[in-house]
Each structure stands twice: as structure tokens, then as C-alpha cells.
């Protein structure tokens, strides 16, 4: 995976890798992005009753701006391009209408073990998080399975899961291509395709895989593409593979406490560790949280910091979503 050569290191109480900053923060929607009617509830959006019951089980009542704008369009069968950052509720924005549609197909055609929805995610951490969300929202749909497939994990359990059948498959592009090539993943009855964090997938070099997957799907499948930015490559892909998509843009802003001082340093990728070490040596601190992209990168950073004499308390290496963190102490 190519490494960004213009990473940012932020000091004070935390050192944050710029590539992971978007995943680490939880942006709040600006007033411009809020639904015109703040009283809109999930129950008003035409969601299938079983999916709505699952949302109520987890305490969801009112949709976020991206959900309120996207769910009705996807329920109508429109292709959608959603521009939204992590933390805006985009997972439910595509999972809820997908499950509503699959629940209706279940009623009309009877149970099917064929893969009907495929979600592509750039990392295994995000794939697992999305699969967990789908499983939670589908808890009241009978005979329904969600299966995550991703690289770095044994093929056996994934192959067994695909043989048993999974209506929803959530995976990283490389592993999805592997299963298509092996004949273990059949997309002939696919109804719904989602690209989550599409710009990140392209940045990581998955453009060719994503296009190959598009070409393996039925022409009448519905597509939801979510991205934090809209580079030209995604714009081209949208025009080529999506059918007259509706474009939804959620403006966000991040707020910083008035008692926090922010500083950053731009360094070349190979010099990040040396720069971070120098900062930790000269700055006074009681503790530091360092954010990186994946759990593997977290463990690698923790090992390197330990070898340079920094202390990391036991069980402080954690992972959540597509970001991970490690805690240092004096």
C-alpha cells in the first residue's frame, strides 16, 4: 500500500497521523446540512417494519442529515453518490434502504441464499464495522446472513460462509476479486452495490479491482457510492457505472475546544517516526494518544516506540473503525 508522503504530525496532548484524522474525528453537521424538517423520524421514511424495529432497538429515532437525504432516494431505486465524512451516519444511510429492499424481496420471492447486496470497503476494520451494522439492522429479518470477507484472514471460514449462502457480503476489493475468480462468490443476482469510502479505496490502489467488480455485476443493480471527496477518477467512475445518480453533499465542520492548541508539522513519510520521536523527547506531557490507520500499524508503531525507550502501559493498543490508537505515558 503506497504511503502518503505528506503526513501531518500534531503535537500537544496527541500525535495524529493526518491520513487517520478524518477517521478519528467525529464531525458535526453544520446548520446548512441539517434536514429542513428537524422533526423527521425514521418512521416517516418508508423503511420496512422489521428494519425500523431494529433501529428502534438500538435507540435510533431521528436520521442524520445524510440519512434523511439518502434513504428516501435509495428506497425509490435511485443510484446515489453521497459526499460525507466518517462520523456522519453514512453506514445506516446505505444499509437501512438496502435491507428494506432485501426484506421486501424476501417476502415476494421467498428466502434466497444468493448474494443480493455487496459492500466494498477499503480496510478489513471498516468491513467488519459495516458487517456488524448490517447484522444489527437485520436482526428481525428471518433466515438472513451477513458475511465479511477480507484479506489477511484464512479463506476456509469465508469459503464455508459463501457455500452456506449470505444475502449481504461486505469485503475489501482484493479479497472480493479473489472469491469471484475462484467462483465462490456469485453476483448474478446482485441487487445492491455499495462503495464505502470510495476515494480511500482508489488512494490505496484498488481502482482496477473496483472496476473489475463493477463489470461482474448485473447491469440493473442499484449503486450507492460514498466518498469524502470527489476526485476526477471517482467522477469518471460515477458517470461510467452509475445510472443518473442523485448527488448528496453533507457539509460538515469540526469544532475544537477553546482550551486546545493545535500545531502540525509536515514531514516525508519515511521520516514520520524520527519526527515523532524528536517531538516526544522535547515536549512535556503526561500522556499521548497516537492515531494511525490500522491495528497492524498501531502494533508496529508501539513496538518501535518501545524500542526507543517510551513506555506503553499494557492493553493500550486499540482499534476501532478504520483508525487505531496507542497510549504513551512518561
- pLDDT tens digits along 56-84: 999 998 999 999 999 999 999 999 999 98
Are 154 and 289 part of one and the same domain?
no
pLDDT surpassing 90 at residue 326? no
Q: Is residue 1 part of a domain?
A: no
pLDDT at 329: 54
Are 15 and 57 part of one and the same domain?
no
Domain CATH for 287: 3.30.1710
pLDDT at 61: 87
pLDDT digits (tens, 9 = 90+) for 8-62: 343 333 443 434 443 333 333 333 344 445 688 999 999 999 999 999 999 998 9
Domain CATH for 198: 3.40.50.300
pLDDT at 107: 85
Are 183 and 301 part of one and the same domain?
no
Are 221 and 83 part of one and the same domain?
yes
Q: Is residue 76 part of a domain?
A: yes
* Residue from 247, 295, 309, 329 nearest 127 by CA: 295
Are 16 and 70 part of one and the same domain?
no
- State which residues form the domain around 218: 28-253
pLDDT digits (tens, 9 = 90+) for 120-174: 999 999 999 999 999 999 999 999 999 999 998 899 999 999 999 999 999 999 9
Domain boundary residue among 204, 238, 253? 253
Number of separate domains in the chain:
2
Q: What is the mean pLDDT of residues 304-322?
A: 66
CA–CA distance, 317 with 104 (Å, rounded to integer): 42
**DSSP code of 311?**
B
> From the CA atom positions of the chain, what is the Rg in Å?
21
CA–CA distance, 110 with 36 (Å, rounded to integer): 38
Cα dihedral 173/175/178/179 (nearest 10): -100
In the three-class reduction of DSSP (H, G, I as helix; E, B as strand; rest coil), residue 304 is classed as helix
Amino acid at each position: 500500500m503506497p504511503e502518503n508522503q505528506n503526513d501531518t504530525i500534531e503535537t500537544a496532548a496527541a500525535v495524529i497521523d493526518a491520513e487517520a484524522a478524518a477517521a478519528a474525528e467525529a464531525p458535526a453537521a453544520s446548520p446548512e446540512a441539517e434536514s429542513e424538517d428537524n422533526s423527521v423520524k425514521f418512521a416517516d421514511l418508508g423503511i420496512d417494519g422489521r428494519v425500523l424495529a431494529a433501529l428502534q432497538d438500538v435507540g435510533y429515532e431521528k436520521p442524520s442529515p445524510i440519512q434523511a437525504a439518502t434513504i428516501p432516494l435509495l428506497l425509490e431505486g435511485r443510484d446515489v453518490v453521497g459526499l460525507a465524512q466518517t462520523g456522519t451516519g453514512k453506514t445506516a444511510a446505505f444499509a437501512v434502504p438496502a435491507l428494506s429492499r432485501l426484506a421486501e424481496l424476501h417476502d415476494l420471492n421467498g428466502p434466497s441464499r444468493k448474494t443480493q447486496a455487496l459492500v466494498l470497503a477499503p480496510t478489513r476494520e471498516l468491513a467488519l464495522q459495516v458487517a456488524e451494522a448490517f447484522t444489527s439492522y437485520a436482526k428481525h429479518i428471518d433466515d438472513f446472513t451477513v458475511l465479511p470477507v477480507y484479506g489477511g484472514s484464512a479463506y476456509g471460514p469465508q469459503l464455508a460462509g459463501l457455500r452456506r449462502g449470505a444475502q449481504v457480503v461486505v469485503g475489501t476489493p482484493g479479497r472480493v476479486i479473489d472469491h469471484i475468480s475462484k467462483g465462490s462468490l456469485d453476483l448474478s443476482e446482485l441487487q445492491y452495490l455499495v462503495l464505502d469510502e470510495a476515494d480511500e479505496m482508489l488512494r490505496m490502489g484498488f481502482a482496477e479491482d473496483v472496476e473489475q467488480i463493477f463489470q461482474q455485476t448485473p447491469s440493473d443493480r442499484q449503486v450507492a457510492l460514498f466518498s469524502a471527496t470527489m476526485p476526477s477518477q471517482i467522477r469518471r467512475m460515477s458517470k461510467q457505472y452509475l445510472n443518473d445518480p442523485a448527488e448528496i453533499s453533507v457539509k460538515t465542520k469540526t469544532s475544537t475546544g477553546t482550551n486546545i492548541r493545535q500545531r502540525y508539522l509536515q514531514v516525508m513519510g519515511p521520516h514520520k517516526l524520527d519526527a515523532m520521536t524528536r517531538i516526544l523527547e522535547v515536549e512535556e506531557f503526561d500522556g499521548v494518544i497516537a492515531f494511525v490507520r490500522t491495528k497492524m500499524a498501531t502494533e508496529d508503531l508501539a513496538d518501535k516506540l518501545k524500542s526507543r525507550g517510551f513506555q506503553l502501559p499494557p492493553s493500550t493498543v486499540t482499534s476501532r473503525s478504520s483508525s487505531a490508537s496507542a497510549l504513551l505515558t512518561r
